[in-house]
């Protein structure tokens, strides 16, 4: 399938304030420029930032979603060793821009203050990102406090896509994923200390700005870790959006992208905690996923509903790189999920 790669900046909306060009890029070349007046209702916009950081023992997720009808801040601490999860959620009905999320994935910082909880996401000029968290009553009244720094590798690339939805002229999805951050820092979680050290801890940044269709379903998986002495990571996914101009599927070695075409999730229908398989139509990716634990979330407000099944675990497999060589990887940590929304 031919894919359209952007090599210069492209605005999401053209002069008629409608999405016109679609494709993918290795850098944040897609400029998110929603109209100040007119256009779709603000309740159909979704803006989200998500950070996933993990070590050999723990996975921590920070997620901010402004879904128009529903604002959502979720923090999860997952123990990969004893298969336990603690989650703190702050909901904000009719958020409608309340979180002031930046329009660009390369500028702006975010400050969250909710019920004595403080979470800061700071973007540095170097491209490094700092996460500071201080939540006195997290989960079972344990304190979550600490700071981590996410640093990009040299010459890092991302997978960036701009995709339309079929039969919905004003709907589009602008997406970026960077699955290659080097993570360093410490978090105090109750009586435990979570250490994130260079070459033993990694991070993923996921950024979405979109106008939703009436119904949507999306499958997504991402991971990052060390393989054969190199930083390996990937982003794969598909759903209701039309990806014919550019898929979000990509493998990364030391931050450099190796673009893939379509990837299929082979999910065991009877039990999602059994082993999954992933294959690509271009025969470049074959991979298995060994689940560790599952979490199901459901949200509903007015006419808007949202359901997510999220599984964390480890990935192993092989990929054919852009130069034709094979690269194998084993047990890199990540997650897979399916999200359904209705408006």
pLDDT digits (tens, 9 = 90+) for 230-240: 999 999 999 98
What burial class does residue 138 get, using C-beta atoms within 10 Å of its C-beta: 0-12 exposed, 13-18 middle, 19+ buried? buried
Q: Which residue has the higher pLDDT, 219 or 82?
A: 219
Determine the average pLDDT of the residues in 72-97.
88
pLDDT at 36: 61
Residue 294 and residue 276 in contact, taking contact as beta carbons nearer than 8 Å: no
pLDDT for 140 beyond 80: no
In whole angstroms, how large is the CA radius of gyration of the chain? Answer: 19
Q: What is the DSSP string of 198-246?
A: TTT-EEEEEEEEEE--SEEEEEEEEEEEEETTEEEEEEEEEESB--TT-
Give the mean pLDDT of 61-65. 95
Evaluate if residue 304 carries a pLDDT over 80: no
Average pLDDT over residues 29-47: 80
Confidence class for position 37, pLDDT limits 50, 70, 90:
low
Higher-confidence position of 305 and 292: 292
pLDDT of residue 301 exceeding 90, the answer is no
Backbone angles phi, psi at 11, to 5 degrees: -75, 145
For the chain, give the percent of residues with pLDDT over 90: 73
Query: How far is the C-alpha of 285 from the C-alpha of 138, rounded, in Å?
Result: 39
pLDDT at position 1 over 70 = no
Residue range 249-269: mean pLDDT, rounded: 97
> Which H or E element spans position 301?
strand 285-301
Across the range 11-31, mean pLDDT stands at 92
Give the pair of three-digit tokens for residue 17: 């304030």
Q: What is the pTM of this model?
A: 0.94
Taken in order 106, 109, 110, 116, the sign of the CA dihedral is positive
Mean pLDDT of the 276-300 span:
94
> What is the arithmetic mean of pLDDT over 263-279?
96
Residue 147 has pLDDT above 80, yes or no: yes
**pLDDT band with cut points at 50, 70 and 90 for residue 214:** confident
What pLDDT was estimated at residue 98?
87
Say what the pLDDT of residue 74 is.
Answer: 92
């Amino acid at each position: 399938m031919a894919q359209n790669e952007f090599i210069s900046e492209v605005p999401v909306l053209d002069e008629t304030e409608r999405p016109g060009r679609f494709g993918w890029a290795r850098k944040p070349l897609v400029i998110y420029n929603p109209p100040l007046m007119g256009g779709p209702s603000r309740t159909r916009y979704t803006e989200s930032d998500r950070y996933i950081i993990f070590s050999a023992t723990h996975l921590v997720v920070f997620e901010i979603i402004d879904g128009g009808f529903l604002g959502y801040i979720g923090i999860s601490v997952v123990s990969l060793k004893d298969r336990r999860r603690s989650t703190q959620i702050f909901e904000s009905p009719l958020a409608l821009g309340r979180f002031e999320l930046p329009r660009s994935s390369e500028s702006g910082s975010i400050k969250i203050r909710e019920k004595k909880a403080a979470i800061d996401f700071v973007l540095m000029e170097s491209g490094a990102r700092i996460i500071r968290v201080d939540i006195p009553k997290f989960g079972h009244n344990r304190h979550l406090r600490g700071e981590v720094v996410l640093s990009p590798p040299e010459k890092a690339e991302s997978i960036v896509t701009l995709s339309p939805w079929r039969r919905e002229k004003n709907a589009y999805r602008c997406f970026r994923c960077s699955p290659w951050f080097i993570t360093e820092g410490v978090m105090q979680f109750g009586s435990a200390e979570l250490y994130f050290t260079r070459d033993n801890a990694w991070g993923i940044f996921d950024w979405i700005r979109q106008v939703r269709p009436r119904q949507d379903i999306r499958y997504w998986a991402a991971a990052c870790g060390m393989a054969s002495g190199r930083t390996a990571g990937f982003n794969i996914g598909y759903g209701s959006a039309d990806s014919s101009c550019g898929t979000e599927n990509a493998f990364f070695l030391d931050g450099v992208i190796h673009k893939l075409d379509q990837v299929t999730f082979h999910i065991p229908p009877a039990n999602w905690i059994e082993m999954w398989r992933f294959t690509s139509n271009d025969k470049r990716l074959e991979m298995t996923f060994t689940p560790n634990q599952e979490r199901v979330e459901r949200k509903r407000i007015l006419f808007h509903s949202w359901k997510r099944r999220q599984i964390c675990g480890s990935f192993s497999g092989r990929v054919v790189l852009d130069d034709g060589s094979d690269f194998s990887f084993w047990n890199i940590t990540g997650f897979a999920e399916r999200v359904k929304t209705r408006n």
